[in-house]
A = this chain, B = another copy of it.
Amino acid sequence: MSNDPDLVALGQTIRQLRKAQELTQEELAFRSGLHVNYIGGIERGERNVGVKALFSLARGLDVQPSELFSSVTE
């Protein structure tokens, strides 16, 4: 578990992008080749996700990787 605010912000952005396309977690899992439980953990900000998985998510969401970080500011 993690309450890292950056991870939470990243996960919320991914969830928003997914819902904006009316995709379920299962559908995004299929499109990105990741396990549905892993996607749930990412969306909740519990996973220090590696960039390879992020690139897969970006492809599954049909967005640029940089867009996943639009709400994360340092």
Contacts and interface: CB of A to CB of B under 8 A. Distances in A.
Interface of A: 4, 6-7, 10, 48-52, 54-55, 58-59, 63-67, 69-70, 72-74
Given A69-B64, A69-B66, A6 B51 contact: yes
A36 to B, nearest CB: 20
Q: How many copies of this chain does one complex carry?
A: 2
A51 B6 CA distance: 9
Residues of A contacting B: mostly: helix
Nearest to A67: B66
Contacts of A49: 50-51
Given A64-B69, A72-B66, A74-B65, A51 B48 contact: yes
Contact of A70 (B6, B66, B73, B74): B66
